[in-house]
Amino acid sequence: MTVTADARTDLDRTRFYIDGEWVEPRGTETHRAVEAATGELLGTASLGTDADIDAAVRAARHALDEGPWGRTTPAERAGYMRRFAAALSARAEGTSTLVSRENGMPITLSTAFNGAAPAGLLHMFADIAENLVFEEARPSPQGASIVRREPVGVVGAITPWNYPQVLAMFKIAPALAAGCTIVLKPSPETALDSYIFGDAATEAGLPPGVLNIVLAGREAGQSLVTHPLVDKIAFTGSTAAGRIIGAECGRLIRRCTLELGGKSAAIFCDDGDVDTLLRGLGTASFMNNAQTCTTQSRILVARSRYDEVVDAVAQYCRDQVVGNPLDTSTTIGPMASSTHLDRVLGYIDVGRSSSARLVTGGGRPAGQDRGWFVEPTVFADVDNNDRLAREEVFGPVMAMIPFDGDDDAVRIANDSNYGLGGSVWSVDEDRATDIARRVRTGTIGVNRYDIDLGAPFGGMKDSGIGRELGPEGINNYLEYKSMYVSAKHLS
């Protein structure tokens, strides 16, 4: 489709949400948001400059230091958060559809993760805020110490395109609960949906400057990382970008949480049940078209069951419904962009040029002439040293690897720079749980893989630093202060 330079749609977002208002951008650069399933224009969004980031940070700093937010009680913050959740819930259907159009996420999954989950996280962290003791007195040899939990300050939240609403709320909800203020910089690949947060925040009466939203590219994003009035960076994205952000935060002695890439392993034991594996592959290996950081794209199989499982996984891929993400029967939608499609197809070429065996897939699906579709693909006999086993593809390309015994499986699973997700499949749950304990990864499932929003989430090794979610998630946004006082404070 050819689109003229001045084309406009009703989804355009040409202003930024700063200090509780929709403000004009300082620059003129824009991003054209294109529908993943069709390649057609969805809308145009302005891209921020360093000046826009600076205005947003200063608004957040003022709201914390001089505005009402810095004086709120946990109960007051919880009230704002619940109203914010209600405003998001009222928009959930439209939000879910918009994200599916932007990045190709199947609508059923989008309804859960972009429609329901953000409001659920706000409610969860509102409850945490109300029940957390923010100040307590403890006995000390000289009298007492008052231990305070205080907000870390202004948070720069940098979020990716694959789960744009819920991954932003991984950061927004605990930051609000802790009493922080936020500048959100979403990815241009999902340029339009993030501003729904601004609409909902206004409806909820969130004080000006508490949440600010500026869409921007990498250069302006870097200015958020280095801004002198920012106290913490919370980033989800690639390991390559995480290294740069982490290095800068280290130089500045700035707190950071990094949730990065993965190359996770699913371990299928010699006593595993194939039907159980096939029922679980949707969330373990193919969730969101395998555009998920926890995707278990290395499928390790006991050698005695190897051919059987390779055939079963290949047939599973052939049975998938690849199509329009807005159709509820679709199980695999398009890649998020033409650039990302090229990346995935490039890794398929890498597999073809290796000693691995292409079992199924390997190209564009028949009949899908528009949009960024790719066939679910399986390579067998992959060596764990191959690029296909070492590097994150971020698409539906599976590497099947045989192993000999539990120790060998653990060795191969751990022979990776990453450690974010994983799973173990065995009819003996105790055996599988023992194997799971030995895999060096931040999350792992036994006979399933479903992220629990109430448990800590994050990675080891090159998969990141810190944990989000669960009651522990608020700790990323708190500083501890010890006040040495007299014993009278103990009464």
Cβ atoms of 64 and 153 closer than 8 Å = yes
CATH code, domain with 346: 3.40.309.10
Note the helical H segments in 230-337. 239-252, 274-284, 306-319
Does residue 209 sit within a domain?
yes
Could you give the number of structural domains in the chain?
2
Cβ atoms of 32 and 14 closer than 8 Å = no
Does residue 384 sit within a domain?
yes
Q: Is 320 left (phi over 0), alpha (psi -120 to 50) or beta?
A: beta
Q: Are residues 34 and 120 in the same domain?
A: yes
Helix 74-90 vs helix 196-204: angle between axes, to the nearest 10 degrees? Answer: 130
Range of the domain at 429: 265-452
Q: Are residues 345 and 197 in the same domain?
A: no
Q: Are residues 251 and 292 in the same domain?
A: no
Q: Are residues 57 and 126 in the same domain?
A: yes
CB neighbours of residue 407 within 10 Å: 11
Give per-residue burial for 211-224: e unless 16+ CB within 10 Å, then b: bbbbbbeeebbbbb
Q: Report DSSP state, residue 359.
A: E
Does residue 164 sit within a domain?
yes
CB neighbours of residue 38 within 10 Å: 15
Q: Are residues 228 and 123 in the same domain?
A: yes
Q: Are residues 207 and 298 in the same domain?
A: no
Query: pTM for the complete prediction?
Result: 0.96
CB neighbours of residue 131 within 10 Å: 10
Does residue 216 sit within a domain?
yes
Q: Are residues 225 and 275 in the same domain?
A: no
CATH code, domain with 170: 3.40.605.10
Interacting residues of 460 by C-beta distance below 8 A, sequence separation 6+: 419, 420, 440, 441, 442
Does residue 460 sit within a domain?
no
Dist CA 285 CA 289 (whole Å): 9
Cβ atoms of 419 and 459 closer than 8 Å = yes
Listed as own residue / partner, the contacts of 450-454 with beta carbons closer than 8 Å and 24 or more positions apart are: 450/283, 451/294, 453/117, 453/120, 453/121, 453/124, 454/124
Does residue 168 sit within a domain?
yes
Q: Are residues 303 and 336 in the same domain?
A: yes
Q: Are residues 124 and 254 in the same domain?
A: yes
Cβ atoms of 370 and 37 closer than 8 Å = yes
What positions carry a catalytic annotation?
259
Question: In this predicted structure, what is the pLDDT of residue 1?
Answer: 32
Helix 117-131 vs helix 164-178: angle between axes, to the nearest 10 degrees? Answer: 20
Q: Are residues 365 and 280 in the same domain?
A: yes
Does residue 458 sit within a domain?
no
Which pair of structure tokens corresponds to residue 122? Answer: 């706000």
Give per-residue burial for 313-343: e unless 16+ CB within 10 Å, then b: bbebbeebebbbbbeeebbbbbbbbeebbee
Written as tens digits, the pLDDT of the chain (491 aa) is: 333 334 556 899 999 999 999 999 999 999 999 999 999 999 999 999 999 999 999 999 999 999 999 999 999 999 999 999 999 999 999 999 999 999 999 999 999 999 999 999 999 999 999 999 999 999 999 999 999 999 999 999 999 999 999 999 999 999 999 999 999 999 999 999 999 999 999 999 999 999 999 999 999 999 999 999 999 999 999 999 999 999 999 999 999 999 999 999 999 999 999 999 999 999 999 999 999 999 999 999 999 999 999 999 999 999 999 999 999 999 999 999 999 999 999 999 999 999 999 999 999 999 888 999 999 999 999 999 999 999 999 999 999 999 999 999 999 999 999 999 999 999 999 999 999 999 999 999 999 999 999 999 999 999 999 999 999 999 999 999 999 999 999 98
Dist CA 474 CA 77 (whole Å): 14
Q: Model confidence over 227-236: pLDDT tens digits?
A: 999 999 999 9
Q: Which residues pair with 79 in a beta bridge?
A: none
Among residues 291, 263, 235, 255, the alpha carbon closest in space to that of 461 is found at 263
Q: Are residues 346 and 385 in the same domain?
A: yes
Q: Are residues 230 and 290 in the same domain?
A: no
Dist CA 3 CA 125 (whole Å): 43
Does residue 4 sit within a domain?
no
